[in-house]
Amino acid sequence: MNGLRSSFANLLQRRQILLSASLLVLVAGFASDPSSDVGRYLILVHFGLFLLWQPIVRPSHRLGGLDLILLVAVLSGFVLAMSPGLLAAWVMVLTAVVGGRSFVAATMAGRMPYVLALALLVLFLVLVLVPEALGLHSEDVALLSGVTQPGLPLMAIAIAFMPIESELDPRTLGGIDLISALMILLVLAVTLLGTLALMQVRSMPYFQSLALALIGVAAGLLLLAWAWQPRLGHASLGLQLSRWLLSTGLSFETWLHDLSSAALECNEPDEFLSAALHDLERFPGIVGGRWHYLPGDVSGSFGRGGKHFETFEHGGLRVELIFRRRPGESLVWHYNLMLLVLARFYSEKRQTRELQLRSFEEAVHETGARLTHDVKNLLQTLNALCFVASRPNVDTDALHRLFRSQLPQIAARLESTLEKLGRPDGGATSPIDAAEWWRDACSRYEGQHIRFIADLGDAGATVPREVYDSCLDNLLQNAIAKRRLDPDISITVEFDARTRLRVTDSGRAIDAAVASRLLRQPMQSEQGLGMGLYQASRLASGAGHRLELARNDDGAVVLELYPAPATDETGVGAEAVEPGPSSRLIRNGPLPFNTRVVSDANSKD
């Protein structure tokens, strides 16, 4: 039994053998007289072989009881009513099926058996069956029939020895091109009906009528093929058919153009969705609808209610369209495609809005972080003043002068900080005389045991006040924080009004992982380095300066603020003073440039 099943499976794989046997038995059945018992049995065997070969229903499909009864009834009626005319009608259907199968085969070798079978069936139909059904017994008809009938079995046998069809995958084996099969059936029907019409109207012989009918059908097909894809530049039938298939009373292209325009005009996603869905009322048959977007819990409706509705859901958007009458499957598919496009547009607009909100929140957060650090710097200045005021035996006159000089500066810096709320991008920075700024900076950190060294250069030099205040405050606060952990750390501030501001501490070097990201991104560390320096670095960059870690060694951690090198017309940086050994603070040796000490507080109070 297993061997028989294996042989049967192998037979099904060589499908052209089944087709060959089916056609051979069909020809033999007609030659044995279809109205005789032998002819009927052979035709019945032909139907059995055809059912094994047929590419429409899978061979593994199980027929139900009702299907079997209907199949037996149809075959029994066909066999009992067998005649040349009925057999000719069946051969036309069989020709269409074989022709439709030939268009599905993937390779030329796979198509050849079906092409030969198609030629056999056409010759059998027009040279044998139709003349027999019409009762034509002229000499030319008898001659051609006598020549054709012996050649048909040879053609059927040749089909069995052709190469095996390449697509042996059960999922792809089988199937026909329905449109091509219908076209072949219509061509055969028009040709034969045209032949009969010419024979009746013009009293022409069969083969002459057949030739004229074939010429007319060929000319019509040639004209149709040219109109389908013309060479003169005008719209083809293929394009018109595609447009018709993609429209339901309103051009799909027009609707898509209107949808794109609405997407550009409507900034709010929900407003765009409502307008686009209301626009669907222009389509025939749609009287209203409802929609609900599940993630955003947004819903709405348009038009009026009705009994017939279809529900579509794409990407969380659930749309229920209400129709005047129940739509066909093609319309449902069409509206599903349209709503899929609409859902994609809506999803993109929601994502765009979310990105805008995130950008706004990031801008607010960044502005708040920058202002927070500015306020913290002011608080540190106030703490320094309070520390000076709380020292025992403080000089009242000196303290009065200190407060008189610092409080207006603190008020001005606080006012500048509040103004930044109106210009989150940082805005312009106000210049200040370099000597005046240096005096204010030294007085703010008086008593903090910080060594200040300056070369103020020529009179009239200016610096951007907000940039230098922010950078100096952040650098000194971080250095002071390090000194809380190690009281022996010394801090030095060097200022050259022409080139740079430098803050040096003698503490431990910054960890390499932290140093690689310092000033480039917000971060956290032991002393809180990162956010303040990052904001100060961005503020300096916006004002045309650079804040960078110039040296990172144990005993010498140096951060510098200096004007960014200008670029020439080619975009290459112009020559600028770069930090080197000669510009660093040399302990127990000469100072790096012509300096004068404004404040030296290395000694402990």
- Looking up tokens 């040096």 gives 504
Taking the alpha carbons of 49, 55, 60, 64 in that order, is the dihedral positive or negative?
Answer: negative
Instruction: Give the whole-angstrom CA distance, residue 535 versus residue 542.
Output: 11
Single-letter amino acid code for the residue at 222: L
Nearest to 440 by CA among 457, 428, 452: 452
Contacts for 546 with CB less than 8 Å, ≥ 6 apart: 540, 561, 562, 563, 564
CA–CA separation, 439 vs 401, rounded Å? 13
Whether the CB-CB separation of 452 and 493 falls below 8 Å is answered with yes
Q: What is the pLDDT of residue 112?
A: 85
Task: Output the pLDDT for position 491.
Answer: 92
- Determine the pLDDT at residue 250: 53
Q: Give ∠ CA 98-73-186 in degrees, rounded to 5.
A: 30
* Element (DSSP H or E) covering residue 420: none
Helix ranges (H only) for 391-501 are 396-419, 434-444, 465-485
Q: What is the pLDDT of residue 571?
A: 43
Q: Are strands 317-323 and 431-433 parallel, antiparallel or unpaired?
A: unpaired
The whole-number pLDDT of residue 215 equals 93
**Is there a contact between 310 and 335 (Cβ–Cβ < 8 Å)?**
yes
CA dist., res. 3 & res. 303, Å (int): 67
Residues of the chain with pLDDT under 50: 8, 167-174, 529, 568-605
- The whole-angstrom separation of Cα 296 and Cα 443 is 57
- Pick from 595, 590, 558: nearest CA to 454: 595
What's the per-residue H, E or C state across 115-182? HHHHHHHHHHHHHHHHHHHHCCCCHHHHHHHHHHHHHHHHHHHHHHCCCCCCCCCCCCCCCCCHHHHH
As given in the structure block, the two tokens for residue 172 are 């792809």
Assess contact for 230 and 307: CB atoms under 8 A.
no
Helix ranges restricted to H, 202-328: 206-228, 237-245, 252-265, 269-278
Q: Exposed, middle or buried: residue 254 (CB in 10 Å: 0-12, 13-18, 19+)?
A: exposed
Domains and CATH numbers, the chain: 2-228 (no CATH), 246-356 (no CATH), 428-599 (3.30.565.10)
Per DSSP, helices labelled H in 32-83 are: 37-53, 65-80
Q: Which value, to the nearest 10 degrees, does the dihedral of the CA atoms of residues 46, 47, 52, 53 take? A: 70
- How far from each other are the two terminal CA atoms of the chain, in whole angstroms? 111
Q: Is 329 in a helix, a strand, or coil?
A: helix
- pTM of the predicted protein model: 0.46
For residue 541, which of 530, 531, 533 has the smallest C-alpha distance?
A: 533
* Model pLDDT, residue 95: 92
What strands, in cross-sheet order, belong to the sheet with 491-496? 545-553, 556-563, 500-505, 491-496, 450-455, 596-599
Confidence (pLDDT) at 350: 84
